[in-house]
Amino acid sequence: MKINETNRIGAHHHYQKQNEARVSGVNKARQKDEVQISAAAKEMLTTSQAQDPERSKQIEQLKRSVASGTYYVEAGKIAEKLLPYLKE
């Protein structure tokens, strides 16, 4: 009686593939994400509108009104701005 066929092709490949997947999975876990910011983007950050004192003043006023709970948004204005995007 034969329990295992000795000339069976690929019988050990299944276990070898599992081992290779496990090893490659370890390598994937060690990889880290990287972000590179171009020189043009850095320049845009330094010359952004947030540097404008008038804009900074407006932003601070908005922050205070949101924190105090007095900030009000008109639903109609939001709908007007969203409508062109929803039509596309």
SS3 32: coil
**Residue pair 21/15 in contact by the 8 Å Cβ criterion:** no
User: Residue 82: its pLDDT value, please?
Assistant: 92
Evaluate if residue 1 carries a pLDDT over 60: no
Average pLDDT value for residue range 63-69:
94
For residue 25, what are its two tokens? 């999975």
Domain ranges of the chain: 39-87
The predicted-structure confidence for 30-51, as pLDDT tens digits, reads as follows 678 898 999 988 888 777 665 6
Cα 35 to Cα 23, 32, 38, 52: the distances in Å are 26, 10, 10, 27
User: Residue 31: its pLDDT value, please?
Assistant: 75
Evaluate if residue 57 carries a pLDDT over 80: yes
